[in-house]
Amino acid sequence: MERISWNQYFMAQSQLLALRSTCTRLMVGATIVRDKRIIAGGYNGSVSGDVHCVDEGCYVIDGHCVRTVHAEANALLQCAKFGVPTENADVYVTHFPCLQCTKQLIQSGIRTVYYAEDYKNHPYALQLFKEAGVQTQKVELDYLALDMKFKEKNDFVTKLLALVDTEAVDQTELASLRDEANELFQR
């Protein structure tokens, strides 16, 4: 049996952290690692004690949810809170960092940013990383697939199987189910 790589392992940790996200717009997780040891983790969510997007909706100004603290910032703040240095550490993030998180990662001494998905990769963020000597590398999760739509897919298959068991299959309903299947199961 072949073990997953370190990059796959730490990115999987970030994917798990993303499942704790309370923002409905995008679930993001970040894991800070030094010497192959996890030193902090974060996900995007509201300030401690405040309401969450999942409860009251996102608070959007100029196209951004201002209610949430980003995953990278939460991980960096966890290090600051507990006195854990981030100099020469790496970060594994489910999505390419936004411009503000890019600046925070550079200022905190992160040396490499590993990310699983491109997400509005800002040209200035790319420039800043390059100028600061921070490496960026995309990590494909080819050993592990976390299905963020498992519940919806399970409900869909249950509904589909119930329909197949009936003798009268309405072609309109079947076409609707086909569209829903395409939306749920395409990558």
Q: What is the distance between the alpha carbons of residues 1 and 108, in angstroms, rounded to a whole number?
A: 38
Q: Which residue has the tokens 């509201």?
A: 46
Q: Which residue has the tokens 């040891």?
A: 37
Collapsed DSSP state (helix, strand, coil) of residue 95: strand
Tell me if residue 72 is catalytic.
yes
DSSP string, 19-61: TT---SS---EEEEEETTEEEEEEE-EEPTTS--HHHH---EE
Q: Name beta bridge partners: 40.
A: 32
Q: What is the distance between the alpha carbons of residues 41 and 150, in angstroms, rounded to a whole number?
A: 24
37: which 2 tokens? 């040891």
Instruction: Give the H/E segment covering residue 126.
Output: helix 123-132
Q: What is the distance between the alpha carbons of residues 127 and 129, in angstroms, rounded to a whole number?
A: 6
Say which of 56, 72, 140, 183 is annotated catalytic: 72
Name the residues annotated as catalytic: 72
